[in-house]
Structures are given as structure tokens and as C-alpha cells.
Amino acid sequence: MSVLPLPKTAGPVPANASHAGHSGAQQAAPAPALIVLMAASAGLGAASLYYSQPILAPLADDLHASAAQIGAVPMLTQLGYAAGILLLTPLGDRFDRRKVILTKFVLLVLTLLLCGLVPAYTPFLLASALLGLTATLAQDVVPMAAALSPPDHRGRIVGQVMTGLLLGILLSRVMSGVVAQAFGWRWVFMLAAGALTLVGLLSWRLLPSVRPATATTYPALMRSLRGLWQAYPSLRRATLAQGLISLAFSAFWSTLAVMLHHRFGLGSAVSGAFGLAGAAGALAAPLAGRVADHRGPGLVTKIGALITALSFAAMSITPLLDRSAAIVLLVVLAIIFDFGVQATLIAHQTIVYGLDPAARSRLNAILFTGMFIGMAAGAALGSLLLSQFGWVGVTALAAFASLVALVLRMTAESD
């Protein structure tokens, strides 16, 4: 799996090292520098999915695409990511996760360079799909952090890596918008490739090997996904509800830049700065985990879906407001609905991970595949509705999808 010569390490870590303990030796927690490196790796990998969102307007102008056509860019990126989660993430259970991660580093850097160099709309669509496929690097790093962590530190360490992933997603929009406005949209992908190369080289030096968790063949791993889907109604409800919430989330972020450009004449730097509003809401979302611990994750999913639905419903009045009031309202509601979206995700992960500890990687693959299929649908439908009905059409779609997710959670009394 590796395309790089591997430096000598102290030896592979068992995938279940934290449970091995038969020798009585206490597994040491990863060094702080390694935790920071894994957080940066997860953040830069996940960020690759979102660089295009705040720069869709200049992308459309430069590639001679309509508003409806340019919506295919985030759609194909999310579809590529969903396919990568479903088809590639299980490889971490079968092969040394270090080799899987390093291989994806190389492929993701090459794909980012391709995105920055392609000359026309159609090849950029293909590059976007490949970008989503290789950005699944982030979904390999988090299980790596769990495998390297002793039980009494695992929650803290995985939480730190997830914080890096979340910051990468949200701050990617800020970086993308600022860089595109200052230097042009192609430099967004070039600089991202450079940053990822640096972190990849550090990972090559510092990441330890992790023994495969299973000798099960790849086809058998893939077949087991269907069995898990059929066996757990809670998994199906969580996947469908999170997919609907993600549809609403993506419909907003995939059309915001185009709407701000056409209605208010605002550039990509301003639309990218909306990522800071999203960061404020999403970084508060781990508080929902405490509520899930004390009151149950099912309650958190209901509250999160309700917050999201009400936020998008309130956005429908922005066309009636003047420029300043509309922008302020959008910023406030972006903070609120991002909190709702992340709260439902944390709660759904809590539900799903408790179903079968031996199959958490595959359960995670199913949940996130549904989530990113929803995001792809939101990008496509949001762009279509924006071109046909304006911003009201986008907010109506997002509010309706969130409301259906709420109804689905209200009927799930057993979770």
C-alpha cells in the first residue's frame, strides 16, 4: 500500500494494543507532538473537501459555468468522499494503517495539484470527484489515534484529533476565500498541496505502524457492511437522519458564496469568513456530548434537529431585509445551525459506536457514507433551487430536510 520507503520504527503497534495488556505493561499515551500531527493531518484532509465552496463564484466565471452547473463541483466532491469512506476506509482494518495514511497523503497532494492546474470545467469536475475520494485520509487518522491511545486517555486524545478535523473543515472556507481574493482561486489548491506535503513528510517520520485488526479479506469486510445495516435499526435511523441534516447543511454552504456574490456583490473573502461563524457554533457542539452522557444521545438528536430546522426557517426572511440586516442574521443563524448539525452528529456517533464495539470502523463507514450522500444531494438540489427560485428555495429545502430528520428522531424512542 505504501509508495514511500518507511523509516525504521520501534515496531508495529497492535490495532487492539489498548486491550492487549496481557504482559501487564501499561500502554503509553502518544507524545503531544504526535497528537498535534494527527490533528493537523485530519484537519488538512477534511479541509480539502471544502476549499471550493466559498470560491464557487470565481470558479464559475473562470471556467465558464452557470450557477446550476457549478453546483456539481461540491456535489461530486461529496460523492467522491462518500465512495471513499465506503470503499477505502475498511482498508484500515485489513492493512497497516500507517501505510494506508501515507499512500493517501501522496494521492491527495497530487489531486490538489490537479485541481489547481486543470484548464476547463469538465476536467475540474473529475478532479473534484478524485479530491473527495482521496480526502478520506481524515477517516483513517482518527481510528489511528484511538489505536495508539490507552483506554483512560482515549476520549481526550481522540477528542483533540477530532477538534483538529473540525477546525480544518470550518477554517478551510476562511483560508480559501482570502487566498482566492488575493491571489486567485488556483493558489488555494496549490498552497493546500504544499501544506499537506509538509505534514505528510512529518507523518512519514513520526507515525508508528499499526498491525491490522483483522485478517478478513476485503470482499468479506464489504459484505459485512450489509449485515450491519440489516441488523441494527438504530444504525439505519441514525444514518438517514444525519443524511437529511447534512443535506440541509450542504445546501446552505454550497450556495452561500453564489448568493452573496449575486445579491450583495460580495467577494470570496467575505463568504469564506462565514466559516468563522460556523466555527463558533460547531466548537460549542462538544457540550452536547455532556448532555448525551447524562440525558441520552436520543434527546440531543431531537434538540439538534429542531435547532437546525428553526434556523433555516428563519433564514427565509433574509430577502425581505436590507443588506446589513440580512448579513447579520445569516451570521447569527450560521452559528446556531452549525451547533445543531454538529450536536446531532456527535449524538448519532454515540448511538452507533455503542452498537458493536468490534465493528466500529465499519459502523462509522456506514454512518458517514449516508452523511456525505446527503451532502452531495444538498449541493445539487441547493444549486438547482437557487437558480430557479432564489434563496427562499434553498432555505425551504434545508428547513424541510431538517424537519423530516426531526420527525424521524421523534419516532426513535429506543435510541
Q: What is the pLDDT of residue 257?
A: 82
13 beta partners: 210
**Mean pLDDT in residue range 101-106:** 95
Report the mean per-residue pLDDT for the chain. Answer: 85
| Residue (of 223, 213, 175) closest to 196 by Cα position | 175
In this structure, which topology does domain 29-410 adopt according to CATH?
Growth Hormone; Chain: A; (1.20.1250)
| pTM confidence score | 0.74
Residue 242 has pLDDT above 80, yes or no: yes
The least confident of 69-78, 93-102, 161-170 is 161-170
Q: What is the pLDDT of residue 413?
A: 64
Q: What is the pLDDT of residue 400?
A: 98
Higher-scoring residue by pLDDT: 158, 6: 158
Residue 81 has pLDDT above 70, yes or no: yes
Higher-scoring residue by pLDDT: 244, 354: 244
Per residue, the 3-state secondary structure of the chain, as one string, reads: CCCCCCCCCCCCECCCHHHHCCCCCCCCCCCHHHHHHHHHHHHHHHHCCCCCHHHHHHHHHHHCCCHHHHCHHHHHHHHHHHHHHHHCCCHHHHCCHHHHHHHHHHHHHHHHHHHHHCCCHHHHHHHHHHHHHHCCHHHHHHHHHHHHCCHHHHHHHHHHHHHHHHHHHHHHHHHHHHHHHHHCCHHHHHHHHHHHHHHHHHHHHHCCCECCCCCCCHHHHHHHHHHHHHHCHHHHHHHHHHHHHHHHHHHHHHHHHHHHHHHHCCCHHHHHHHHHHHHHHHHCCHHHHHHHHHHCHHHHHHHHHHHHHHHHHHHCCHHHCCHHHHHHHHHHHHHHHHHHHHHHHHHHHHHHHCCCHHHHHHHHHHHHHHHHHHHHHHHHHHHHHHHHHCHHHHHHHHHHHHHHHHHHHHCCCCC
Q: What is the pLDDT of residue 8?
A: 43
Higher-scoring residue by pLDDT: 58, 359: 58
Q: What is the pLDDT of residue 24?
A: 44
